[in-house]
Structure 1
Amino acid sequence: MSTRIFLLLLLLIANSTFCVYAQNNINLNGTWRFALAQTDKEAEGLSEFYVPGFKSNKLQSVPVPSNWEILGFEEPVYRGYPDDKGSEGFYLREFEIPADWNKKRVLLHFGGVWSSAEVWLNGTHLGQHNSGYTSFAFDVSRALKKKGTNVLAVRVRQVSREYKFDTFDDWTLAGIYRDVTLEAMPSNRWLDQVTTQTVFDKNYDDADLKVRVMVNDRNKQTIPGNYPTPGEPYHLRLTLSDKEGNSVAARTIEVPAHTSTGRDISLTFRVESPKHWTAETPYLYTLKAELLENDQAIHSRVEKIGFREISTEGGVFRINGQTVKLRGVNRHDEHPDVGRATRHEHWLEDIMKMKEANINYVRTAHYTHAKGFIELCDELGMYVGSEVSLGGAGHLREGPSYMDAALVRTYETITRDINSPSIVYWSVGNEDPLTSFHLTSIKVLKALDSTRPVLIPWRHESWLPEEIDILSAHYWQPHEYDTFAAQANRPIITTEYTHAYGTEGFGGLEARWKALTRHPAGAGGAIWMWADQGIKTPTIRPDKKYDNIVRDDKYMRIDAAGWDGIVDSYRNKTRDFWEVKAVYAQVYPVVDKMEFTPGQSTVRIPIQNDFDFTDLNNIKIDWSLREDDKTLASGTSTINGKPHAEGVFDLPIKEIKRVTQGKTYYAWFIFTGADGQEITRKAVELCPLNIPDNLLDGKEHIVLTKDEMTTVDVGNVRYVFNPMTGHLVSAALHHNLLITELTPTLWEKPDHGAASVIGNKLIRYIPDMNRNTPSVKSWNISEEADKVTIDAKVEYIVNDTTSFTTDYQYTISTDGRLNVRYEILPKVFAPSLPIVGMSLKTMPEMNNIRWLGLGPWNAYPNKRSAPILGVWGGETGSADVIGKKATRWIERSGSVGGVHISHVGYMGHNAASPDVINILSEVLSKPEKGRKPDDSFPLLLTDTGEPFIGEFGISLK
Structure 2
Amino acid sequence: MKFDYQWVKDPECFEINREKAHSDHSYYASSQEMLMDESSFKHSLNGVWKFHYAKNYKETIRDFEQKDYDCKDWDNIKVPGHIQMQGYDKPMYVNQMYPWSGREGIKPGEIPEHFNPVGSYVKYFSVPEKMKDQKLYICFHGVETAFALWLNGEFVGYSEDSFTPSTFFLSPYLEEGENKLAVQVFKYSSGSWLEDQDFWRFSGIFRDVELYSIPSTHIKDLFVKTVMEEPFDEANIEIELKVKGKIEHCVIQSELLDPDGTEVLKHEFKITEKNPLLSIPVESPLLWSAEYPHLYTLILTVLHKGEVKEIIYQRVGFRKFEMKDGLMCTNGERIVFNGVNRHEFSAKSGRAITKEEILEDILIIKQNNMNAVRTSHYPNNSYFYKLCDEYGLYVIDETNLETHGTWTDFYDKDIILPDDKPEWEANLIDRANSMFQRDKNHPSVVIWSCGNESYGGKDIFMMSEFFRERDDTRLVHYEGIAWDRRYPNTSDMESQMYTPADEVEKFIQEHPEKPFILCEYAHAMGNSNGAMHKYTDLVKKYPQYQGGFIWDFADQAIYTLDRYNNEFYAYGGDFGERPSDYDFCGNGIVFADRQLTPKMQEVKYNYQSIDTTITDENITITNHYLFTNLDEFVTTIMILRNGVEIESEEMILNVMPHDSITIKNPFTPLDEQNEYCVQVVYTTMEDTLYSDSGHIVAQEEYIYPYQPVQTLSNKKIRIADDFANGVTRSTPKTVGITDKSVA
Q: TM-score, normalised by structure 2?
A: 0.83
* Deviation sequence 1:615-651 (CA, Å, 0-9, x none): 1111211221133345442121121212233233433
Alignment of 1:106-505 (within 5 A): 106-145=136-175, 147-187=176-216, 189-217=217-245, 232-256=248-272, 258=273, 263-392=274-403, 394=406, 395-398=416-419, 399-460=421-482, 464-466=487-489, 468-486=491-509, 487-502=511-526, 504-505=527-528
Once the two structures are TM-superposed, the CA of residue 739 in structure 1 deviates from its matched residue by: 4.2
Once the two structures are TM-superposed, the CA of residue 347 in structure 1 deviates from its matched residue by: 0.6
* Deviation sequence 1:509-534 (CA, Å, 0-9, x none): 11122225532111111000100111
Cα 1:617–1:507 change in 2 (3 A) is same
Once the two structures are TM-superposed, the CA of residue 186 in structure 1 deviates from its matched residue by: 2.4
The residue aligned with 1:609 is: 623
1:562 corresponds to which of 585, 593, 608: 585
Once the two structures are TM-superposed, the CA of residue 88 in structure 1 deviates from its matched residue by: 1.0
Alignment of 1:570-585 (within 5 A): 570-585=593-608
Once the two structures are TM-superposed, the CA of residue 550 in structure 1 deviates from its matched residue by: 11
- Structure 1 distance, partners of 2:459, 2:350, is 30
Q: Are 2:583 and 1:532 equivalent residues in the alignment?
A: no
Cα 1:548–1:275 change in 2 (3 A) is closer
Cα 1:538–1:174 change in 2 (3 A) is farther
Would you say the 8 A contact 1:622–1:669 is kept in 2?
yes
1:737 corresponds to which of 678, 700, 715: 715
Letter in 2 for 1:38: K
Structure with larger RCO (C-alpha < 8 A, sep 6+): 2
Structure 2: state its 5+ residue gaps.
Answer: 1-31, 105-111, 407-415, 575-579, 738-742
Q: What SS class does the counterpart of residue 384 from structure 2 fall into?
A: helix
The residue aligned with 2:682 is: 671
- Structure 2 distance, partners of 1:497, 1:183, is 42
Once the two structures are TM-superposed, the CA of residue 190 in structure 1 deviates from its matched residue by: 2.1
Once the two structures are TM-superposed, the CA of residue 423 in structure 1 deviates from its matched residue by: 0.7
Would you say the 8 A contact 1:38–1:86 is kept in 2?
yes
1:899 corresponds to which of 730, 734, 737: 734
2:70 corresponds to which of 55, 64, 69: 55
- Structure 1 distance, partners of 2:221, 2:533, is 44
Alignment of 1:505-904 (within 5 A): 505-516=528-539, 518-537=541-560, 559-591=582-614, 594-595=615-616, 603-653=617-667, 656=669, 658-660=670-672, 662-674=673-685, 675=688, 676=693, 677-686=695-704, 733=713, 736-741=714-719, 899-900=734-735
Would you say the 8 A contact 1:241–1:249 is kept in 2?
yes
Once the two structures are TM-superposed, the CA of residue 499 in structure 1 deviates from its matched residue by: 0.4
Would you say the 8 A contact 2:558–2:570 is kept in 1?
no
% identical equivalent positions? 26
The residue aligned with 1:23 is: 40
- Structure 1 distance, partners of 2:728, 2:517, is 50
Cα 1:842–1:647 change in 2 (3 A) is farther
- Structure 2 distance, partners of 1:63, 1:698, is 65
- Structure 2 distance, partners of 1:47, 1:638, is 73
Moved more, 53-62 or 67-76: 53-62
Cα 1:901–1:291 change in 2 (3 A) is same
- Structure 2 distance, partners of 1:432, 1:562, is 20
The residue aligned with 1:933 is: none
Q: What SS class does the counterpart of residue 396 from structure 1 fall into?
A: coil
Cα 1:628–1:23 change in 2 (3 A) is closer
- Structure 2 distance, partners of 1:548, 1:136, is 31
- Structure 2 distance, partners of 1:454, 1:663, is 55
Would you say the 8 A contact 1:276–1:306 is kept in 2?
yes
Alignment of 1:21-100 (within 5 A): 23-43=40-60, 46-56=61-71, 59-79=74-94, 80-82=99-101, 83=104, 84=112, 85-99=115-129
- Structure 2 distance, partners of 1:512, 1:138, is 48
- Structure with greater strand percent: 1
Once the two structures are TM-superposed, the CA of residue 604 in structure 1 deviates from its matched residue by: 2.1
Q: What SS class does the counterpart of residue 496 from structure 2 fall into?
A: coil
Would you say the 8 A contact 2:93–2:573 is kept in 1?
no
Q: What SS class does the counterpart of residue 192 from structure 1 fall into?
A: strand
Cα 1:652–1:49 change in 2 (3 A) is same
Once the two structures are TM-superposed, the CA of residue 299 in structure 1 deviates from its matched residue by: 2.8
- Structure 1 distance, partners of 2:168, 2:391, is 32
RMSD: 3.4
Would you say the 8 A contact 2:674–2:708 is kept in 1?
no
Once the two structures are TM-superposed, the CA of residue 559 in structure 1 deviates from its matched residue by: 3.0
Q: What SS class does the counterpart of residue 313 from structure 2 fall into?
A: strand
- Structure 2 distance, partners of 1:580, 1:373, is 22
- Structure 2 distance, partners of 1:549, 1:629, is 42
Letter in 1 for 2:515: P
- Structure 2 distance, partners of 1:172, 1:244, is 44
Once the two structures are TM-superposed, the CA of residue 384 in structure 1 deviates from its matched residue by: 0.9
The alignment of Structure 1 onto Structure 2 pairs a total of residues equal to: 663
Cα 1:633–1:463 change in 2 (3 A) is farther
- Structure 2 distance, partners of 1:339, 1:448, is 33
Structure 1: state its 5+ residue gaps.
Answer: 1-14, 220-230, 552-556, 596-602, 689-696, 702-715, 718-732, 744-769, 774-839, 844-891, 903-956
The residue aligned with 2:14 is: none
Would you say the 8 A contact 1:291–1:300 is kept in 2?
yes
Once the two structures are TM-superposed, the CA of residue 466 in structure 1 deviates from its matched residue by: 3.9
Letter in 1 for 2:50: R
- Structure 2 distance, partners of 1:137, 1:547, is 35
Cα 1:518–1:195 change in 2 (3 A) is same
Once the two structures are TM-superposed, the CA of residue 23 in structure 1 deviates from its matched residue by: 1.9
Would you say the 8 A contact 1:391–1:429 is kept in 2?
yes
Once the two structures are TM-superposed, the CA of residue 435 in structure 1 deviates from its matched residue by: 0.9
- Structure 2 distance, partners of 1:842, 1:169, is 54
Cα 1:452–1:562 change in 2 (3 A) is same
Cα 1:268–1:70 change in 2 (3 A) is same
- Structure 2 distance, partners of 1:396, 1:463, is 15
Q: What SS class does the counterpart of residue 123 from structure 2 fall into?
A: strand
Would you say the 8 A contact 1:378–1:420 is kept in 2?
yes
Once the two structures are TM-superposed, the CA of residue 465 in structure 1 deviates from its matched residue by: 4.1
Letter in 1 for 2:183: V
Would you say the 8 A contact 2:341–2:375 is kept in 1?
yes
Once the two structures are TM-superposed, the CA of residue 540 in structure 1 deviates from its matched residue by: 5.2
* Deviation sequence 1:750-783 (CA, Å, 0-9, x none): xxxxxxxxxxxxxxxxxxxx9999xxxxxxxxxx
Q: TM-score, normalised by structure 1?
A: 0.65
* Deviation sequence 1:208-254 (CA, Å, 0-9, x none): 1111111134x6xxxxxxxxxxx833212222222333222221122
Q: What SS class does the counterpart of residue 136 from structure 2 fall into?
A: strand
Once the two structures are TM-superposed, the CA of residue 133 in structure 1 deviates from its matched residue by: 1.1
Report which of the two structures shows the higher radius of gyration computed on alpha carbons: 1
- Structure 1 distance, partners of 2:316, 2:382, is 15
Once the two structures are TM-superposed, the CA of residue 184 in structure 1 deviates from its matched residue by: 1.0
Q: Are 2:134 and 1:104 equivalent residues in the alignment?
A: yes
